[in-house]
Amino acid sequence: MYRIRMVCKYTNMKQTEVLEMPHDLFLANFKYAFIEDKMSTEQGREYLKQANRLQQTKADYSKLKTMNGYKQE
């Protein structure tokens, strides 16, 4: 019910309208509502920054080169 309430508030739609929404559209609206909710507080912004950092799959070589102990071959 939390997700439905969040999407209702974000989209300004009634609960019945949200429940009739296609699943992929519901999930997209929930994602954006969740991000908007987290962006409203400093703690939430920190959470989003950490979540984004954890999803990165490629190394940041420029930051690695600034670390102590890096030896260029």
Is residue 61 situated within a structural domain? Answer: no
The 3-state secondary structure of 3-71, one letter per residue: HHHHHHHHHCCCHHHHHCCCHHHHHHHHHHHHHHHHHCCHHHHHHHHHHHHHHCCCCCHHHHHCCCCCC
Q: How many domains does the chain have?
A: 1
- Residue 1's pLDDT is 86
Whether 72 maps to a domain, the answer reads no
> Which structural domain, as residue segments, surrounds residue 12?
2-50
Check residue 53 and give its pLDDT.
83
Examine residue 27 and state whether it is found in any structural domain, yes or no: yes
Q: 43 in a domain, yes or no?
A: yes
pLDDT at 70 exceeding the cut of 70: no
**pLDDT (0 to 100) of residue 72:** 66
Quick: pLDDT tens for 12-44.
Answer: 999 999 999 999 999 999 999 999 999 999 999
Tell me if 42 is assigned to some domain. yes
Q: Is residue 32 part of a domain?
A: yes
